[in-house]
Amino acid sequence: MSAGLTERRQTILKLVIQEFVETATPVASETLVRKFGLGISSATVRNELAALEELGYLTHLHTSAGRVPTDAGYRFFVENLMERTTLSLAEQRTIQHQFYQVRGELDQWIQLAGAVLARTAQNASLVTPPRAAERLRFRSLELIAIHESMALAVFVFHGGIVKQQTFTLDTARAAEELRRSAARLSDALSDLTVSGIEELATRDAGLPRPTFSEFEHGVIDSLVRAMQAFEEQAQEQIHSDGLLEMLSQPEFIPALARDDAERAVARMRRALEILKSGRGLGTLIPQALASDGVQVIIGGENSADEMREYSVVLARYGVDRAIAGVLGIIGPTRMAYPRSISTVRYISSLMSNLLAELYNAEGRAPESGAP
Amino acid sequence: MSAGLTERRQTILKLVIQEFVETATPVASETLVRKFGLGISSATVRNELAALEELGYLTHLHTSAGRVPTDAGYRFFVENLMERTTLSLAEQRTIQHQFYQVRGELDQWIQLAGAVLARTAQNASLVTPPRAAERLRFRSLELIAIHESMALAVFVFHGGIVKQQTFTLDTARAAEELRRSAARLSDALSDLTVSGIEELATRDAGLPRPTFSEFEHGVIDSLVRAMQAFEEQAQEQIHSDGLLEMLSQPEFIPALARDDAERAVARMRRALEILKSGRGLGTLIPQALASDGVQVIIGGENSADEMREYSVVLARYGVDRAIAGVLGIIGPTRMAYPRSISTVRYISSLMSNLLAELYNAEGRAPESGAP
DNA sequence: GTTAGCACTCACACGCGGAGAGTGCTAAAC
DNA sequence: GTTTAGCACTCTCCGCGTGTGAGTGCTAAC
């Protein structure tokens, strides 16, 4: 029976997937001929479907239900059958416009990227902040009195990263004094990493006559804490959005989900947990950081069992390897892959360009009409 | 039959509510006598329950199901029956410790407050950032070169609010020049509000020989945009957390929800929408901002129909009226009100103290053992 | 290789009936 | 007058069987 993946079988596979993605119901042989008017009868289609099933690209929930793609089926579709598209120019323009509106604010870019991904692909999205491959390097700091016993420190790092922290003063200090301290510290610590700063501070504290005052050492402590906190959490931090978009997919709506309402809800809860904790994504993000182009992980291909029903479309964005983050889409395996992929590709190149501008380096050119 | 709310009826009402809150199942007359050994028979209890129902404090889903509190029932409970508790000292200490760990970072406080509220009350939480009653007032700015054609502006406002923004430079500028511009602008614009700054800028631009360079006007534009954006969105911005905690309440678990699985899911989706969009909260937050103490809004008492199944426990926090935000808990009407209220009260006083410290004013003392 | 025809298989919806839980009522006891 | 025992009544929930329809798999003819 099975004579490999003939041309016709590929066509049929493609149609099954497209139809299933659109309708979310198992697709029947009859439907295929009716809807797409292939020049053959439903019986023939059934034979082909059976062959595709034997080859592992389709399944059956039970005897008398239409066919549903397997992970392998989606994989083959993504790899060989699907036509690569790009977002329409109108969409691109809209998106660019939105990014223009929040120009200059990295945090907003991230948020916006998440929102746009979610809306465009009608699924949940995730974005990690761009992270420098190297360790955080100090640049300068400012000290600003808020009132007598309280000051605000603004720490600026290479790469335009800014952290702020308030702290209490043991005694009141004049604005001038604060400015002097800030200048001294900015000079002394400039370009150092955490470890460098820590080393310098302990060395200084050990001197018979330390260069820095007790107060200044306090500021350094605060700085070190901020840097450590940042470096620790930078790994973990995943911004996600589009929960509602994803949950409006039929998989999560009991009335539409073919199987039990129970299931739909369990799925919903699981999806929430994945998004909140990032569990199940595990190695995916580091992997995406190390790769080029758009990564597609379908169902249980990779990783954890809890991801068996979900696919992830990820891409790195950033400037070379120097500074990079990951963004992408997560949703049911029944996902409009062409659209998801082109969306992810477009947003990643857009973000890359924005970052490149920020870092004055050349990013990869977006697929068309970059801002 | 109905001779008003006798002592005994109040006791029974209280027990019904406590039992229902705990078990999430309608409570039967038999259960009450068995579990709490009141010295009367179930028949008597039934009579009393019927009376309470007639008075509007309880209902019936159908004939042969136990009683369920109405909104009015909860209201009476909250107002008159419930005993006010405080969080245990151990809990208070744990919470204080967590806040100590993120000392100095307002954003983190907000996040932490949300997380702690959610975990402690096992429901969703919401926190709005503290907002000054007055308009945003500028304090100073710093300009930092990132590379030749890009600079980072750090705007500092009264109240320790810091915004950052990158922008492109038309021509390269020396660090010294940037510093001078920053100093000039800081001096000139200090203590002004947006409108003040805008006015000054247009006046200056109209002069035959403007005080500020074109570049400096660019910085001012950027500043004005940042201030406007902040003032606009400050209203809207609601940080929420604890979705998962809330969704682990039986109301959202089809197997446990007495009614349809359908319903449970619809509820779930509705809850999501409320949290994401803040719709349905409508006037609640401004109201809470204007009131003292903890506000409890039960079910459909206030506002929108979509909130009919939810209660909200809110409190203002901050320093007097000068600077204030709102934080609270949202969850099914079947909520452990005493615990929710004490949690909200405690966290709000904690946050008030932290803010007071920041602003060097006296906050309301927390109910016990402030940090 | 293709197709018509047909038996076969399941999920799904519907209806039914029994079991169980709790109430509401009534009449007697306190 | 209040309390209580007793009991009928109501309504949900659950399991069961059954009919229906969708869709397949197979077979035999083209």
Is B269's Cβ below 8 Å from some Cβ in A? yes
pLDDT confidence bin for B134, thresholds 50/70/90: confident
Is B46 a residue whose pLDDT tops 90?
yes
Rounded average pLDDT over A324-348: 96
Contact B247 A146 (CB under 8 A): no
Residues 68-127 of B with CB under 8 A from A: 103-106
Lowest mean pLDDT, pick from A337-346, B161-170, B324-333 = B161-170
Is A147's Cβ below 8 Å from some Cβ in B? yes
pLDDT confidence bin for B366, thresholds 50/70/90: very low
Domain A89-129+237-359, CATH number (from 2.60.120.330, 3.30.450.40, 3.60.21.10, 3.40.50.720): 3.30.450.40
Distance CA B137, CA A368 (A): 43
Cα–Cα nearest to B339, from B127, B75, B122: B122
Residues 211-230 of B with CB under 8 A from A: 222
Delimit the domains of chain B by residue range.
7-81, 89-129+238-359, 138-235
Q: How far does A205 lie from chain B, in Å, by closest CA?
A: 24
Contact A148 B358 (CB under 8 A): no
pLDDT confidence bin for B127, thresholds 50/70/90: very high
pLDDT per residue over A143-169, tens digit each? 887 777 778 898 988 877 888 888 888
Q: Which residues pair with A332 in a beta bridge?
A: A310
CATH number of A7-81: 1.10.10.10
Is B251 a residue whose pLDDT tops 70?
yes
Distance CA B34, CA B27 (A): 12
Is B187's Cβ below 8 Å from some Cβ in A? no
pLDDT at B259: 60
* Interacting residues of B152 by C-beta distance below 8 A, sequence separation 6+: A156, A160, A162, B143, B144, B145, B146, B164, B165, B166
Closest CB from B104, B148, B166 relative to A167: B104
Closest CB from A142, A149, A253 relative to B142: A142
Tell me which chain A residues have a C-beta less than 8 angstroms from the C-beta of B243.
272, 276
Lowest mean pLDDT, pick from A115-129, A187-201, B240-254 = B240-254
Rg (CA), chain B: 27
Per the model's pLDDT, the better-predicted residue between A328 and B236 turns out to be A328
Is A365 a residue whose pLDDT tops 70?
no
Cα–Cα nearest to B113, from B91, B96, B131, B93: B96
Contact A105 B255 (CB under 8 A): no
Contact A272 B244 (CB under 8 A): yes
Q: Give the DSSP H/E element, type plus range, for residue A216.
A: helix A214-236
pLDDT at B369: 38
Q: Give the DSSP H/E element, type plus range, for residue A96.
A: helix A89-101
pLDDT at B368: 43
Task: Write the class of the CATH domain B89-129+238-359.
Answer: alpha beta
Is B274 a residue whose pLDDT tops 80?
yes
pLDDT at A257: 63
Per the model's pLDDT, the better-predicted residue between B15 and A2 turns out to be B15
- Whether residue B20 contacts residue B334, with contact meaning beta carbons closer than 8 Å, is answered with yes
pLDDT confidence bin for B335, thresholds 50/70/90: very high
- 3-state secondary structure string, chain B? CCCCCCHHHHHHHHHHHHHHHHHCCCECHHHHHHHHCCCCCHHHHHHHHHHHHHCCCEEECCCCCCEEECHHHHHHHHHHHCCCCCCCHHHHHHHHHHHHHCCCCHHHHHHHHHHHHHHHHCCEEEECCCEECCCCCEEEEEEEEEECCEEEEEEEECCCEEEEEEEECCCCCCHHHHHHHHHHHHHHHCCCCHHHHHHHHHHHHHCCCCCCCHHHHHHHHHHHHHHHHHHHHHHHCCEEECHHHHHCCHHHCCCCCCCCHHHHHHHHHHHHHHHHHCCCCCCHHHHHHHCCCEEEEEHHHCCCHHHCCEEEEEEEEEECCCEEEEEEEEEECCCCHHHHHHHHHHHHHHHHHHHHHHHCCCCCCCCCCCC
Structure tokens given for A158: 């290479």
pLDDT confidence bin for A8, thresholds 50/70/90: very high
Distance CA A118, CA A331 (A): 10
- Does residue B180 reach within 7 angstroms of strand C, measured from its CB? no
Distance CA A33, CA A20 (A): 15
Distance CA B18, CA A37 (A): 64
Interface A:B, Cβ pairs < 8 A: 111
Which of A103, A154, A164, A168 best probes binding to B when mutated, by most B CB atoms within 10 angstroms? A164
Cα–Cα nearest to B311, from B238, B248, B261, B251: B251
DSSP state of A79: I
Structure tokens given for A86: 């790009």
pLDDT at A256: 67
Domain covering A138-235 assigned CATH 3.30.390.60 in the classification = yes
pLDDT at B367: 45
In degrees and rounded to multiples of 5, residue A161 shows phi and psi of -85, 130
Is A265 a residue whose pLDDT tops 80?
no
Contact A261 B254 (CB under 8 A): yes
pLDDT at A360: 63
Closest CB from B150, B154, B262 relative to A162: B154
